[in-house]
Amino acid sequence: MGEKIDLICNQLTAKSNLKIATAQKSATAFELLKQETQKFPDIYKATNNNPEIVVSYESKQPQCFSLRYGSDVLFCHLHSNVFEFSRDHEVMKTPYIRENKDRSFCGMISIYNFLTDSVIYERLNDSGYLIGRVFINSEGHCYIDGKRELGQIYNNFSSTIFDETMAKTILEAALQYTINFDLLVPPYEMVQEMTIHEMMELNNKHALVKTAKRLGFRFQADTDL
C-alpha cells in the first residue's frame, strides 16, 4: 500500500486507541461523581430533614445528571468528545505533559449552576453558569478549573487521580460554592422595559422574563461578585 498510507493507518490506530482509553477513564470518573451525588439527598435528610426544602437527584440521560437542593440546581455533563489542552495552557508546560504529550488529551465534565425556579417554571430564557470543569486523561489523572472552592482543590495533574475521594471533594466544593453564590438584584436598566408579548407570556407560564444570578453583571473574577 505504500509507506505514507501505512503511516496514516498507524496514526489512526494510535490516536483512536488513545481517545477510547481517555473516554473510558472519563466515563468511570463521571460514574463516581454521579454515585456521590446520588447519596446527597439521603445524607441531607439524615442530618437536616426539613420537609420544606427539596433535595433530589435526577438522571434522564447517561451523560448528564442534576441535583436539586433548595433554590439551586447543579447540572453535570460529560462531553462525548475528547479534547487536548491548547499549547498555551499551563498544564502543557509541566514535566508530566512534556514527558508524554498523550497525557494532554482529556475527557471533560462540566458543572453548571441553575436556579430551581428556572426549571420548575420552564423559563427557557434563564441562564445557568459554568462553575467548574474536570478534565480526565487516559491515565485517570485529573485537572480542575473553576470558581472559588472548585478552583482551590489540590490540582497537581501529575499526581491527582480521580477516585471516590476526589468525586466527593468536587461535589462538596460545588455545593458550597453555589449555596454562597446568591441571586443579585439586576440593574434597573436591565428590567425597565417589557414588551406586550413578554407580559402575555408571563401571564401564561412565567417564561420570558429572564432571571439569572448575575443578570446584568459581568461574571468573571470572584472578587467582582
Asked if residue 114 lies in contact with residue 95, where contact means CB atoms within 8 angstroms, the answer is: no
Helix (H) / strand (E) containing 100: none
Asked if residue 57 lies in contact with residue 37, where contact means CB atoms within 8 angstroms, the answer is: yes
Residue 130 amino acid letter: L
- Provide the 10 A C-beta neighbour count for residue 109: 24
Report the pLDDT value the prediction gives residue 105, as an integer from 0 to 100. Answer: 97
Report the pLDDT value the prediction gives residue 223, as an integer from 0 to 100. Answer: 41
What DSSP assignment string belongs to 1-35?
A: --HHHHHHHHHHHHHHHHHHHHHHHHHHHHHHHHH
Report the pLDDT value the prediction gives residue 97, as an integer from 0 to 100. Answer: 96
Report the pLDDT value the prediction gives residue 221, as an integer from 0 to 100. Answer: 46
Tens-binned pLDDT, residue by residue, of the chain (225 aa): 678 999 999 999 999 999 999 999 999 999 999 999 999 999 999 998 788 899 999 999 999 999 999 999 999 999 999 999 999 999 999 999 999 999 999 999 999 999 998 888 887 778 889 999 999 999 999 999 987 778 777 778 999 999 999 999 999 999 999 998 777 666 667 667 777 777 677 676 655 556 766 554 454 544 444
Q: What is the pTM of this model?
A: 0.85
User: Grid coordinates 454515585 are at which residue?
Assistant: 35
